[in-house]
Amino acid sequence: MIEKIITWSIHNRFMVLLLIIAILSGGVYAIWETPVDAIPDLSENQVIIYTEWMGRNPQIMEDQITYPLVANLQGIPNIKNIRASSMFGMSFVFVIFNDDVEIYWARSRVLERLNYAARLLPPGITPTLGPDGTGIGHVFWYTLKAPGYDLGELRAVQDWYVKFALQNVPGVAEIASFGGFQKQYQVTIDPNKLVYYNISFMSLIQAITRNNRDVGGSLFEMNRAGYMVKGLGYLKSMEDIEDIRLGMYKSIPITVKDVASVQMGGDIRLGVIEENGEGEVVGGIVVMRYGENAKDVIERVKSRLQEVEKGLPPGVSFQVAYDRSNLILAAIDTLRETITEEIVVVSVIVLLFLFHWGGGLVAILSIIFSILIGFILMKIFGITSNIMSLGGVALAVGDLVDSGIVMVENAYKQLTNEVLDIDEQKLDY
């Protein structure tokens, strides 16, 4: 078989040249287009469903949220299994598909089934799909460095400015905020005053809810001009909440401040984030979209951070907490150094023992084109360039070096013997 391939190559040199050009072009294209990451993605092909119902214990979440969702998600095509977890105020359902299923097809099928399953949940509860990322999608972490600012102010900057600016970066699935305090208006009710003024707890909640909205009116025409009428009702301060009317007591209006105290506070926290033991920090996690190039996504995020930093409050700046691109570049540099060293060693060995430039060139070209073919196959089969795959390429180059030297030496020996035989025949003649 090998002899036939060699014979065909000798008689079809033009076709061999075209094949070499195709391998060279395809290999260079595959190197540039293959997604680069430091860690191989071994996570399962899954869709996460998240449901929040704050204040409910895990047993209620299991009975009224998790179980109805899991029961109605059964029957979706190409599902491997379904896992679920219930905790205080939160429910997670993990729908795991077969490995050959396209992720966005899976998400659309799950969303279709959720539209039907949502009617079985308590009123006002809406399950949502998790980001279209993988378990290793956390490619970049940053924190807000701001001496003199409190954690509530920094969290507000993160949630209402930085997060929205980074979410539209190509390749980013989600910006997950962490640390600090999420600001909220807190109404602390005095039950004794509710009883005294004969006001129910639900009527107080409904009054606050009704007063926190704008309403639209009709179109008012005057002097051949139309004026749109609307009622302004959004709550913008603690005083607005305190002045909400709840009813009458002996012809005197009763407001929220008569039965409760209103204050600005932070939401319940289940943990804190520290950096280098220097205290709490506020920041965000960049979650990469499924199938994206981690190196390119991180570069785009860094470029956007430089633009966003110009609009931050005075004294606030970004500080990188985790950057996977450093590990990615280190893996690429290791492969580049390994290939360069092996090419140099092959050239020196061939020239030192054979004194033949052509033999060294053949061995070097076999290494280069084998690597290019390997990257073409990685692109075809959807394998990312990571530590494992690049390490495999480096190890395979070592095997190619051995076989290349042996084949060149053997060919050189055979050619030498043939030349000697011809010279002996000439002498005999």
pLDDT at 290 (0 to 100): 84
> Does residue 148 lie within any of the structural domains?
yes
Beta strand spans in 292-417 (E)? 317-323
> Does residue 6 lie within any of the structural domains?
yes
Q: Is residue 107 within 8 Å of residue 91, measured between CB atoms?
A: no
- Compute the distance between CA of residue 323 and CA of residue 141 in angstroms, rounded to an integer: 7
CATH number of the structural domain spanning residue 177: 3.30.70.1320
CATH number of the structural domain spanning residue 127: 3.30.70.1430
> Does residue 418 lie within any of the structural domains?
yes
Does 127 lie in the same domain as 53? yes
> Does residue 110 lie within any of the structural domains?
yes
CATH number of the structural domain spanning residue 24: 1.20.1640.10
Beta strand spans in 267-395 (E)? 283-288, 317-323
Does 298 lie in the same domain as 257? no
Which structure tokens are listed for 174?
């989600």
- Compute the distance between CA of residue 49 and CA of residue 112 in angstroms, rounded to an integer: 13
Domain around 312 = 134-182+274-323
Beta strand spans in 126-197 (E)? 128-129, 138-145, 172-178, 183-189
What's the total number of domains in the chain?
4
Q: Final residue of a domain: which of 68, 97, 132?
A: 132
Contacts made by residues 196-199, CB under 8 angstroms, sequence distance 24+: 197/246, 197/247, 197/249, 197/254, 197/258, 197/259, 198/247, 198/249, 199/246, 199/247, 199/254, 199/259
> Does residue 38 lie within any of the structural domains?
no
Does 242 lie in the same domain as 318? no
Does 248 lie in the same domain as 102? no
Q: Final residue of a domain: which of 132, 154, 169?
A: 132
Does 66 lie in the same domain as 12? no
For 318, residues 6+ apart whose C-beta sits below 8 A from its C-beta are 142, 143, 144, 145, 305, 308, 309
- Compute the distance between CA of residue 346 and CA of residue 365 in angstroms, rounded to an integer: 11
Which pTM does this prediction carry?
0.75
Query: Which burial class, exposed, middle or buried, applies to 223 when counting CB atoms under 10 A from its CB (0-12, 13-18, 19+)?
Result: exposed
> Does residue 113 lie within any of the structural domains?
yes
At 341 the three-state DSSP class reads: helix
> Does residue 39 lie within any of the structural domains?
no
3-state helix, strand, coil split of the chain in percent (to 5) is: 50, 20, 25
End-to-end CA distance of the chain: 37
Spans of the chain, pLDDT less than 50:
none
- Compute the distance between CA of residue 86 and CA of residue 273 in angstroms, rounded to an integer: 24
- Compute the distance between CA of residue 195 and CA of residue 181 in angstroms, rounded to an integer: 33
pLDDT at 142 (0 to 100): 92
Does 342 lie in the same domain as 421? yes
Does 169 lie in the same domain as 302? yes
Which structure tokens are listed for 125?
């509860």
pLDDT at 140 (0 to 100): 92
Does 54 lie in the same domain as 70? yes
Q: Final residue of a domain: which of 285, 300, 323?
A: 323
pLDDT at 419 (0 to 100): 58
> Does residue 53 lie within any of the structural domains?
yes
CATH number of the structural domain spanning residue 207: 3.30.2090.10
At 280 the three-state DSSP class reads: strand
Does 110 lie in the same domain as 139? no
Does 374 lie in the same domain as 234? no
Does 176 lie in the same domain as 299? yes
Q: What is the dihedral of CA 365, 368, 369, 373, to 10 degrees?
A: 170
- Compute the distance between CA of residue 269 and CA of residue 271 in angstroms, rounded to an integer: 6
Does 312 lie in the same domain as 173? yes
